[in-house]
Amino acid sequence: MDNITENILELHDVETFIGQYHILFGVNITVRKGSATVLLGRNGGGKTTTLETISGLRPPFAGTILLDGKDIAGLPAYEIIQSGVGYVPEDRDIFSDLTIEENLLISSRKGNDYDKRLELVFELFPDMKKYFKKKSRILSGGQAQMLSISRALINDNKLILIDEPSKGLAPILIRELIDRINIIKKDNTVLLVEQNWEMATSVGDYFYIVQDGMTVFECTKEELLADDTIKQKYLGV
């Protein structure tokens, strides 16, 4: 029943609480297959919470989330992830006591062609092969980010959620990351949160601006670049 819809993911009026604090008031996002969609907006707007809500780490209070047409709102995180979602958290959260191989091994799900995906990962991130048997606590910030992405890539996921990949990375690493993501987004659609203007605009095909827990603006890459007022109005850049 793999109806290859145009959209991998649709969020309709999604609301979320953290404890008793109301964070998301109404998020509406559509992610098209084979593309990269970027969530922009000032800090504290609810971008990270949106990714956490999609991945199931924070169940939504209201609204629907359609993954490939199926409503996954409220399902436990492991079920959503197992149905083909990869999640790369803001501060990477790599398992430092495990080696790179072990990080990837436990992320690989049943029925996944582990060796084939491993080749793909080594191609994209050679460092992973170099330190494959080492404990991942020795990795640098950039390498840790690569491992975190590799964990999401080890399975042939429909959708990969990435939370501020450029955070804390040197410019040359950001450029390297840009063309990696541009490759990844072809087969495994990407939804990412990004503050770095250069990465956002050189990776993203579609953009949403999230402010005070709501998606306030939507546009394509061309519209964004053409119209400076959007940047002024929403991002204060």
Q: Given the complex with another protein, which of 80 and 181 has the nearer CB atom?
A: 80
Paired tokens of 42: 């000032």
User: Which one-letter DSSP state was computed for residue 61?
Assistant: S
Residue type, 5: T
Chain center to CA of 67? 14
Provide, for the chain, the percentages of residues in helix, strand and coil under a 3-state DSSP scheme, each rounded to the nearest 5. 40, 30, 35
Size of the site for another protein (CB under 8 A): 33
Instruction: Supply the angle between the helices 114-124 and 100-107 in degrees, to the nearest 10.
Output: 130
Asked if 25 touches another protein (CB under 8 A), the answer is: no
Residue from 74, 126, 168, 171 binding another protein (CB under 8 A): 74
Stretch that binds another protein, among 30-38, 73-81, 121-129, 165-173 (CB under 8 A): 73-81
Stretch that binds another protein, among 37-45, 80-88, 116-124, 207-215 (CB under 8 A): 80-88
Q: How far apart are CA 88 and CA 223, in angstroms?
A: 28
Which strand (E) or helix (H) includes residue 121?
helix 114-124
Residue type, 58: R
CB of residue 6 to another protein, shortest distance in Å:
26
Stretch that binds another protein, among 2-10, 75-83, 175-183, 226-234 (CB under 8 A): 75-83
* Cβ–Cβ under 8 Å, residues 72 and 46: no
Q: Given the complex with another protein, which of 72 and 230 has the nearer CB atom?
A: 72
Residue from 5, 34, 106, 233 binding another protein (CB under 8 A): 106
Q: Given the complex with another protein, which of 28 and 108 has the nearer CB atom?
A: 108
Residues near 234 by beta carbon (within 8 Å), at least 6 away in sequence: 40, 41, 209, 211, 216, 217
Residue from 53, 107, 188, 211 binding another protein (CB under 8 A): 107
Q: Which of residues 138-177 bind another protein (CB under 8 A)?
A: 151, 155
Stretch that binds another protein, among 2-10, 97-105, 179-187, 198-206 (CB under 8 A): 97-105
- Cα dihedral 100, 117, 119, 87, rounded to 10, equals -50
Q: By CB under 8 A, name the binding residues for another protein.
A: 17, 19-20, 22, 55-57, 59-62, 73-74, 76-78, 81-82, 87, 89, 93, 95-98, 102-103, 105-107, 109, 151, 155
